[in-house]
Structure 1
Amino acid sequence: MSTRILLVTSSILGAHGQSNALADHFMKRAAERDDLAVTQRDLVADELPHLGLDELSSWQVAVEARTSEQQALALRSDALIDELQAHDVLVLAVPLYNLGIPSQLKTWFDRVMRAGVTFRYTEQGPEGLVTGKRAVILAARGGQYAGTEQDSQTPHLKAMLGLIGIDDVTLVYAEGLAMGEARRDAALKEAKQAIDGLLEAL
């Protein structure tokens, strides 16, 4: 049985985006394996609107009681959650924009993080319902942030994944990409080697 991988990209720079370059390398190497099946979701090419009250409210209505408009709105979240649940590994290719994640990626998280569906509140606190999965984050950054107070992106991503039950998270960083050609080339080479090692372990 193939390992099913969901690869989510969110760079607005297209072919010029370094996180997309890491995603492309991942896809190329994965395609060499018969036991890996990769689904790609490009959140820029297939952009989601920001979450609004009408869509949020549609989730609170019982399926059989939803209007046609509410059914269409709820389908966005339902389909994304079904897609996530259907895969074994989630790979997020993430650029760093203003010390955070792209807004396109936030709209995806806003729809897969649903109380009562992908997590629930208990007397002991929230409990994730997306279990038995692992995540890989391919992080591309112009500066050097990992391990510093300015890296708000890493804990944010890990916290959101953890809330829905994905605690097995591996980080691959390509940093210093805007700090000179030599540093960029070395960082990308190292990150691609790390990706190769991850794929060998899948």
Structure 2
Amino acid sequence: MNILRIDSSITGEASKSSQLSAHLSQQLQQQHQASERYRNVAAEQLPHFDGSTLAAIAAGEAKLADELIAEVTQADVIIIAAPMYNFGISSQLKAWFDHIARAGETFAYTSEGPKGLLTGKKTYVVSTAGGKHKGKSSDLVTPYVKQMLSFVGLDDAEFIYAEGLAMSDFKDSAIGDAKAQIEALVETLAA
């Protein structure tokens, strides 16, 4: 099993989403003797998608985007740490999605509409937030991430939430609940 773990938090080692994504990856690695490819799109300062990126793709010289697509293509399991900032994902994670969404490689236009080509992979999304947003209109992370994953064919996605991290009454229980959900997921996979 090949795991691709993507972290996108701007808070570095203090990041709860990164800590939880690492915990999930470690559990999967132990359970399945898996290897991990790690990419921190915030720490690496992944460039935003722009006109020069499009020109590089057209010229066949988009080395970074090609590398990011290869990582996703080679992965069996993808773990994405998606902390909420101002109701959405980090701009760095948005840039990662922009770089991997490429017609003819990760999706195709068909007469029925776009069709994702990255099928047969499991995706876990660790979503963290300072407040409580799950299932509310203020949660713009879940629908966006689901849409982008589905667009490229990653339809088998499971979300793990840790919310209320800025609320002293919920912080510890939110992390504990997320870790318990991770351990239950890994246990289910082992069965």
Under a length normalisation based on structure 1, what TM-score does the superposition of the two structures give? 0.88
Cα contact 2:115–2:153 (8 A) shared by 1:
yes
1:154 maps onto 2:152 in alignment: no
Amino acid at match of 2:175: L
From 21, 43, 67, give the equivalent of 1:79: 67
Amino acid at match of 1:121: Y
Give the Cα separation in 1 of the matches to 2:154 and 2:135. 21
> Structure 1 residue runs of 4+, over 4 Å off?
none
Cα contact 1:135–1:168 (8 A) shared by 2:
yes
Which runs of 5 or more residues in structure 2 are unaligned? none
1:90-134 deviation digits (Å, cap 9, x = unpaired): 110111000000011111111100112110111100011111111
Amino acid at match of 1:167: D
Aligned runs of 1:46-57 on 2, under 5 Å?
46-57=44-55
Amino acid at match of 1:54: S
From 173, 176, 179, give the equivalent of 1:189: 176
Report the secondary structure of 1:59's partner residue: helix
Which runs of 5 or more residues in structure 1 are unaligned? 64-70
Give the Cα separation in 2 of the matches to 1:31 and 1:167. 22
User: Taking structure 1 as reference, are residues 137 and 163 closer, same or farther at Cα in structure 2, changes over 3 Å only?
Assistant: same
Count of paired positions:
189
Is the radius of gyration larger for structure 1 or structure 2?
1
C-alpha displacement at 1:51, in angstroms? 1.4
Give the Cα separation in 1 of the matches to 2:91 and 2:121. 24
Cα contact 2:16–2:128 (8 A) shared by 1:
yes
C-alpha displacement at 1:23, in angstroms? 2.0
Give the Cα separation in 1 of the matches to 2:100 and 2:9. 19
Aligned runs of 1:14-163 on 2, under 5 Å?
14-33=12-31, 35-61=33-59, 63=60, 71=61, 74-163=62-151
C-alpha displacement at 1:40, in angstroms? 1.2
C-alpha displacement at 1:31, in angstroms? 4.5
Q: CA RMSD in A?
A: 1.4
Give the Cα separation in 2 of the matches to 1:18 and 1:38. 19
1:56-115 deviation digits (Å, cap 9, x = unpaired): 122223x4xxxxxxx2xx111111101111010111011100000001111111110011
Cα contact 2:106–2:152 (8 A) shared by 1:
yes
C-alpha displacement at 1:34, in angstroms? 5.2
Give the Cα separation in 1 of the matches to 2:129 and 2:32. 32
Under a length normalisation based on structure 2, what TM-score does the superposition of the two structures give? 0.93
